[in-house]
Structures are given as structure tokens and as C-alpha cells.
Structure 1
């Protein structure tokens, strides 16, 4: 139906709350599955997760009401409004609590779960990660750098040992439900136990992740499960990594070393635990100190600073802090101060990484 906004705009609303009128609901779902742009729908109202097989990357704001007992559900909800789309540069998640008494145990837990979920979502990928397309290395052997522009929206990374996805069902899951599947994997007790006990990454990636996928989507064939599992591991390991250009060659940072993208292979990726950063967030309560560290790390991931530039500008950072009695700010109107702030964030990120 349509409603008139205060500014006179005609807003299109899809109401999925009423599930008794099946004919009308099917009509709405058919429309949602075929939306082509942000102008096709303005508001979707739904109970639960509205996971009826459609994707809405144009969503800018998600509003939920009440407590969320499931951390997985919060991660999924956040993922609904943080998907890449050309119509937005900002997305927000709002949770309305009926009785915000901070002394009530369920509210304290709910708020902490929200903070965990936001942090885990950011660290797992989804909000600030560069957009990569993964292809078998043999299709890119003519590309010496191992990486090429992809439709102007991201980059293609060629991986030795990776095979092109053939199943349309798996492609659809990757396009529409990847965040949901990752959240389910991360919340699986066997996965959490394995990470907590430092089980080798190869065991998690080759055994436990396919097991969870099979439980969540039982109608997948063995080959489809393998395709989806492989993609999830690759995407989770690589999606939040920046590609560094050093002397005309492309490098990805793995732990404490740089890997030339031309040397990237499936065995190397499978040796990395894709969910360790997110698990470390979910396994503890977030206090101000921990959340500040997460915030610093996330901001630092956005800055483009090299080690050499950081070394050159670091004396200027300390000089600024001594003179002004404060750290340089990213919100400053002075571009020079903003650059010093970026160098400071970069340095803090490097310290956090070395302490891991």
C-alpha cells in the first residue's frame, strides 16, 4: 500500500505482518523478489527476520522493537541494512527497548549483545570490507598482478585451487543470505568450542563449517555444500583485508607477513581461522576499554597509510599532541590534523595487531 510522507512524498510500503491472507502475501513477495532499484519500495514491515527469499540491499535503516535473545539474529538484522548499494553512504540499526532500566538483567544482556553483534559484524566483513570477486587463478594468468578492476566497484582476486561456482542455488545464497549463514556458523556450539580450544583452522574449515551448512541448508548436495563452504572460508578470510600496492605489486597482509596476491592459494587461505576475530568479541562482555579498542581498530582499517609515511609523520603527531594537549582529531577541519589523526590510528592498529 501507499502512504503520504510529511514532505509530500508517496511512500511504498510492503506489509508482511499479516500472514493469514496468503494470496496477498504471495503477491507482495513476488513484487519484493523483483525490485530493481531503491525507488521500488520504501518500507518493509515484518515479524521475525523476513527471510522469505528476497534481498533488499537498498535498505538504509533497520528498526527493531524489544529484546533480542539471539545474538545470531542481531547479526542477521544488522546485515540486512549494511549491504553495499549505490543509493547509500550511511546505514543505521535502531533497537527500541520498551523499558530501558539499565539495572534489569535482560536489558544489560541485550545491550551487550547488540554491541557484540555490531562489533562482530564489522570485524567479520560486512560493513567496511572492500568488495572482492574471487576467481580461479587459471582464468587470470594473463594478469601479472593477480588482481584487476571489476566493473569499477571492486576487485577480482585470483586464487590457485579455487573453482568457479556452478550451482545457481549456491550463487543465490551468496548473493542474498551470506551474512545469515556466517552468523549461524559463528554461533554454532561446535565451532565456538573448536575456536576456543585452538583446534587447527583446517579442521574447522574442512569439517565443521560444511557440517553447519548442511544442518542449516539440508537440501544442498554434497558438491553445493562444498562450493558454499569454500566461498565462505575465502570471503571470511579475505573480505576485510586491504590490498597494499608496493612497488607496483599487490600484497595482502596475513598475520605478520605480506603475501603477494599472485601467490594466493586455497591451502594458504584454509590455514587461517576465518572467525577468530569475531569469536574473541562474542566470547567476552564488552566494557568501555574493549569497545574503545574495537572502535580504534575499525577506524584504523579505513585509513590509507604506509609504514614509511607513518615513520615520517610520527614525530609530527607527538609534537602536535604535546603542543595542543590532545590527540589530533579525524573530525578536524584542518586536513593536516586529519592526516596526523590517521597516522595515529594506523599506529594504534599496528600495536593492537602485534599484541594479538
Structure 2
């Protein structure tokens, strides 16, 4: 296993302490933005987003003149976060109240929910309503948009919204913003562009004022949790055969098995659960009321294990009810899940998330990590481990395996950006007075010339890095032999312009410089030498921080670390497979040239070199071309076979 991220926190208690109004650090930051019509709040799990929304909603309805507040959550269980809450006794000016009649998460019949939603909009005495995203979507199809004028629409777990035209919640939101005077507060713990479809279009996103409170700020302010490790373990063959090496039964663990449609799955989720339980130990007792098992480990310990993969609705309901009632550390040891226990699932004693198979969505990665990063007494360390398959040279579809690995590495590098302290880059030494220890002066750095670029750098940098790492264009450039200057000076500006189409050429360059600094310095080692000078590891060497300049940073490949990680984590044979696949993607050749080279030269070369094949790494351009011809023909042959199989 390779730990890609391992960060120790200061335990300042700042993120948990409240001020005279009863607000925690993140909530104060959100409340300061309360006068904006459209607010996008990005903050990690357990940071207090639900109560932050209460503060915002009450200010808008009680002090800003809005008529009503509608809160939409992705599923009913999360609705409990918005039940009646006493805020006044902690210093706020009023309490949060929701009539049980208008807490639609407690109702069962969808028609009845829609009926009450419509009643709420016409009820002069009702201020607040809580419902699911599904109820909101259904209700919006039956009301006139004008009914939402002068109302607040608050959407929790906003990453469920999508810019896809088929995403009705996203379409309704855009329509409401265009056609009504409604205010919108959108909240999420994982607003990333690493998914296939963006959450908002770039144009729509510019309407929102973003408030960002990152993982580092949250975890640094905890009282108990000291450190978080994020790592990847690689296996060959079936994951079940390697599970015993990745599973640590001494830690409170949440195991997510792969989707049955994924490459990592065996195709039988129930058999996988049985095999996992056997890896833990022997079942000695089953509690049919709670739907939990007591499992004795080989060393004699007895663990309580829960199976959330089971499809039987009554069994799942019993187990979920028990999980919600748990209030002691010893109530649970290991939970096995598939599509559940991600967002909104609160098991504060969870110390480790073991996730099997590559997750194509960064949203999912961040949500899962959030399950083990709750602060609680007795928990000093949390870990996220992703167990993924190594590319196998005998696999038919090696390219899929390679891309899976690159996704995993990109996600881990991104999490380092999210979790590490942010450097404070300055243009001149005169600007550094009073700054934090992470202040760095960079020669040639353009000053931020507008409020827009300042806000992007202060609030959106982690999200921009997510977009960068997960751009197909950038993914193809990782390890592709492209000059670092091309990546940083040509590809990065394209990513920035796509995400922020309203920026001028000069503003794009200002953001680009900060982005290349962030990607090359975040998580870097720093050492202070005997003379007091500070050195930072950038690329393969240490550089004096007082001599940093933009030209130097532009000359370093920001993705080199991905390959440093691979080289430590996988075998030489697998690295060769990866290199071959990447080389194949770069080949510019047609069938006629490939066939001619193969017929006239490849056979002769092999005979003359004792059976050795030409290699793409050969210093002789002609030999390299022969190797490319072999790879090209092999790829075309595989494409032909794949197509034939599809037709059959």
C-alpha cells in the first residue's frame, strides 16, 4: 500500500467552537454572505452546513423580507437535520421551526406531499418547509413559477443537481433563477467537476457567490482527530484474494464493495459479502431484530458486523433503524455497503473507509472520505484506502485498466490539494507583513487585478484543481512526454477559460499562474536549513523559496508525482504496460504505413537481433517507428475483435 496523503492537524478546536451568536467557524463565513441572492456553500461533512442554512434562511425571512424558505434534501433520512432547532439560547435572534405538517420528509404518500407543498406556498402563516429533491421536482411541475417569487429555495447536497438537460432538478433551478425573484442557497460537501457532467454550466455558475470552507480548515479545527491518511493498494486477480492484506479488523471500518457493473466486481454481490465476512472470521450469532452479526476473528475477538448490501426491504429497514439509534462506540465494528452509507451517513466512530474498485466520480470519493472524518473522542486517526486492480498485460482491455489507475491517482492527488494547507502567494516582499507561515513571494507573479480573480483564487482553487486533474485533455497529457511548458501554458489556460468564460485574457493568465503554483507546491516537502533559508521540493529538486519565479514553476511537470507514485506502488512489468498503452495513444500512423513497415522491416529486425522486439523507448527513431507499427497493428486487431464480439 502507498499512502499518498498523510496529514497531521493542529487540533485548534476552532472549527467546533461557537461565537456569541452560536455559530461555528464555517457558519460565520456563510452568514457573512447572507445578502447575496445566490449563494453556493462548499464545505465538508460535519462542518455544520445544516445549521448554517438555518442561520441564512432565518435572516432572509426575518430581516430581508423574504416570504418563505423551502429546504430540499436528497433523501428522507437527511431531513432530520432540519427539524426544530433551538438557536436563540446560543445567541441567535430566533429559533428554527418547521411545522410537522410541512416537514414532508415524514410523510409517505407522494401525492400528499405535493398537495402540502402547494398549500404551503399559499399559507400566510407558514414560513419553512422541508422536503426531498424528488418532492421538489414533482411539485415544481404543478405550480406556476411566480409562486416562488420572494422565496428562498435551499438545496442540500447540491451535487445531485446537474447541467445535463435530463436532470429535472437542474432544469427547474435554471428556470427559477431566470423567471423569478427567488433567492437560492446551494450546499454541498463535494462540489467538483471531476464527474462526467458538470453541476452547473459555466455561465450559470457565475451568478453564484461561492463560500468555501475546505477540509483542511475543518480538520485542523477538530478537538480529537489528529491525522488523516489517504492511500491506494493494488491487487492482481480478484480483490477477494487480496482483501486480507487491506482489511484491518482492529479499526472501525466501512467497506464499500464495487458496483456489480464495474470491472472489479465478481458479478455476485451476495457471494462477495459472504467472502468478506469469512475473511473477517466466523459468524457465531445473528441478531435478526437488528440484522447484525457477531463474528469471531481468528485471534478470538468478537466483532459486530452489518450487511447493508442485502436487498430485502424489511431487513434493510431494521438495520438502518438500528444504525440511526447507535450511540456507543461498541455498537458496531464493521459495515459492508454497496451504494449506501455515503452522503449523510453518520457513524462518528468510523476510523477507516475501505473502498474497492475505482470510483469515476470525485464527488463519490469525497463523500466516502467524509464518513470517517467525523471528530469524536477516542479517535485520533482516520484512513481512506482504495483497493484497485493493477493493469494486467494479459487483459484484453488494458487501456481501461490504465485509465482507471490514472483516475485513482488523480483523485488522490486532488485530495492532497483539498486537505493540505494553502500557500499564500505574493507578488512583492512588501505584501508579506503579517502573513501566515505559508506565505511565499514569487518573482514574475501577476497581481490579481479584479475582485473576480481574487474570489476565484481565494474560494475556488481546489475545485479548479479538480477540474484540471479530471479534464480528458489533461488526463491524456499525464506522463505523455509533453513538455511541461505546453501543459502549464497551453492546456491549463484552456481549462480555466472553459470553467470561467467571463474572464479576460489577462485574468485567465493571473489565475493560471496561481493554478500552476498550487499544483506544483501543494503538499510539497519544505525544510529550513541552518542559515534560516527555506527550501521547497518542486519536481525532483529542492529550490530556495526566496528564489521562486514563474518561469521556474512553468518548467516543471505538475503531474510528475503521479508517476512517482506508480513507480513505488506497482511492478516494472505493469509500469511497462502503462507506458506502452500511453505510447499507443500518441501514435500518428495509418494502416498502409504500419503494414509496410511490418512486412518489410519488423521480421528482419527481430531475426537480426536474436528474437528481440523493437521497443518504443529505443533511441533510434526508425526502430521506435517499427515498435509503433507493431503496437498500431495490435490495437487495430483488438478493435476489430471487440467490434465483432459486439455484433455477435
TM-score by length of 1: 0.54
What secondary structure does 1:3 align onto?
helix
Supply the distance in 2 between the matched residues of 1:55 and 1:128 (Cα, whole angstroms): 19
What secondary structure does 2:543 align onto?
strand
Supply the distance in 1 between the matched residues of 2:469 and 2:440 (Cα, whole angstroms): 25
Matched, 1:238 2:521: yes
What secondary structure does 1:181 align onto?
helix
Instruction: Encode CA deviations 1:45-72: one digit per residue, 9 max, x unaligned.
Output: 651479988676xx5xx7xxxxxxx992
Instruction: Encode CA deviations 1:25-48: one digit per residue, 9 max, x unaligned.
Output: 97144xx8xxxxxxxxxx746514
Supply the distance in 1 between the matched residues of 2:534 and 2:500 (Cα, whole angstroms): 36
Supply the distance in 2 between the matched residues of 1:182 and 1:213 (Cα, whole angstroms): 10
Equivalent residue in structure 1 for 2:421, among 107, 130, 146: 130
**Aligned residues of 1:234 and 1:269 also touching (Cα < 8 A):** yes
Give the deviation of 1:230 after TM superposition.
1.2
What secondary structure does 2:80 align onto?
strand
Give the deviation of 1:170 after TM superposition.
2.3
Supply the distance in 2 between the matched residues of 1:97 and 1:109 (Cα, whole angstroms): 8
Equivalent residue in structure 2 for 1:84, among 217, 226, 232: 217
- RMSD of the alignment, in Å? 5.1
Instruction: Encode CA deviations 1:129-176: one digit per residue, 9 max, x unaligned.
Output: 2321110134358x8xxxx751xxx52111011122122222333333
| More off after superposition, 258-267 vs 270-279 | 270-279
Residues 156 and 48 (structure 1 numbering): CA distance in 2 closer, same or farther, change over 3 Å?
same
Residues 119 and 28 (structure 1 numbering): CA distance in 2 closer, same or farther, change over 3 Å?
farther
In structure 2, what is the equivalent of residue 27 of structure 1?
152
What secondary structure does 2:438 align onto?
strand
| More off after superposition, 235-244 vs 89-98 | 89-98
In structure 1, what is the equivalent of residue 265 of structure 2?
102
Give the deviation of 1:96 after TM superposition.
8.3
**Aligned residues of 1:135 and 1:157 also touching (Cα < 8 A):** yes
In structure 2, what is the equivalent of residue 171 of structure 1?
454
In structure 2, what is the equivalent of residue 201 of structure 1?
484
**Aligned residues of 1:160 and 1:266 also touching (Cα < 8 A):** yes
Residues 266-277 of structure 1 aligned to structure 2 (within 5 Å): 266-277=550-561
Equivalent residue in structure 1 for 2:475, among 176, 185, 192: 192
In structure 1, what is the equivalent of residue 245 of structure 2?
none
Residues 87 and 217 (structure 1 numbering): CA distance in 2 closer, same or farther, change over 3 Å?
same
Supply the distance in 1 between the matched residues of 2:467 and 2:458 (Cα, whole angstroms): 16
Supply the distance in 2 between the matched residues of 1:80 and 1:166 (Cα, whole angstroms): 24
In structure 1, what is the equivalent of residue 542 of structure 2?
258
Residues 115-126 of structure 1 aligned to structure 2 (within 5 Å): 119-124=409-414, 125-126=416-417
Give the deviation of 1:245 after TM superposition.
0.8
Supply the distance in 2 between the matched residues of 1:218 and 1:250 (Cα, whole angstroms): 38
Equivalent residue in structure 2 for 1:17, among 128, 133, 145: 133
Supply the distance in 2 between the matched residues of 1:53 and 1:280 (Cα, whole angstroms): 41
Supply the distance in 2 between the matched residues of 1:26 and 1:87 (Cα, whole angstroms): 34
**Aligned residues of 2:258 and 2:357 also touching (Cα < 8 A):** no
Matched, 1:3 2:3: no
Write 1 or 2 for the structure with the bigger share of helix: 1
Give the deviation of 1:270 after TM superposition.
0.8
Supply the distance in 1 between the matched residues of 2:468 and 2:539 (Cα, whole angstroms): 23
**Aligned residues of 1:55 and 1:176 also touching (Cα < 8 A):** no
Which ranges in structure 2 are unaligned for 5 or more consecutive residues? 1-70, 72-78, 88-95, 99-104, 106-129, 164-169, 171-183, 200-211, 231-253, 270-355, 360-386, 389-402, 573-648
Instruction: Encode CA deviations 1:310-350: one digit per residue, 9 max, x unaligned.
Output: xxxxxxxxxxxxxxxxxxxxxxxxxxxxxxxxxxxxxxxxx
